[in-house]
Amino acid sequence: MDVAHLGIMIPIIAIAGAFIMIIYLRKYENQERMAMIDKGVDPQFFNIKRQRNTSLPLRASLLLIGAGVGLLFGYFLDKTYDMEEVAYFSMLFIFGGIGLGLSYLIEERKYKEERIAEGRREGQGFIK
């Protein structure tokens, strides 16, 4: 097989395999639910709401924003002071780190607000 044909076949086979895997997962999940209902398990068991974890998208977005701003500042330093590669790498790491630090602060504030709201719902008052 030629390399060009192989390069075309790999994505097609990967997409078809992923599609077939999703179909089979849904099929077996449905069979499992039907078996549990036949045994008398409450169908509300399947409607468990999961808490959304937003920390990964927040962290990734602020890291990429920081990296973009870092590259912009690196370009500015390169054109202004002829710093070459040093400006790009240093600004990329500095602003990427600032983005990660900012995401940490946002997550901590969100976590504290959730704990305060949880304490008020339970009637305990303010939790530090």
Instruction: Name the residue with tokens 């009637």.
Output: 123
Determine the Cα–Cα distance for residues 57 and 64; give it in Å rounded to an integer.
10
| Residue-level pLDDT at 62 | 95
pLDDT at 43: 65
| Per-domain residue ranges of the chain | 3-46, 55-121
Alpha carbon distance 55, 62 (integer Å)? 11
Q: Are 45 and 36 in contact (CB under 8 A)?
A: yes
Neighbours of 111 (CB within 10 A): 11
Per-residue confidence (pLDDT) for residue 50, from 0 to 100? 66
Q: For the segment 18-76, what is each residue's pLDDT rounded down to a tens digit?
A: 999 999 999 998 888 888 888 888 767 666 666 677 789 999 999 999 999 999 999 99
Dihedral sign for Cα 60, 65, 66, 71, please.
positive
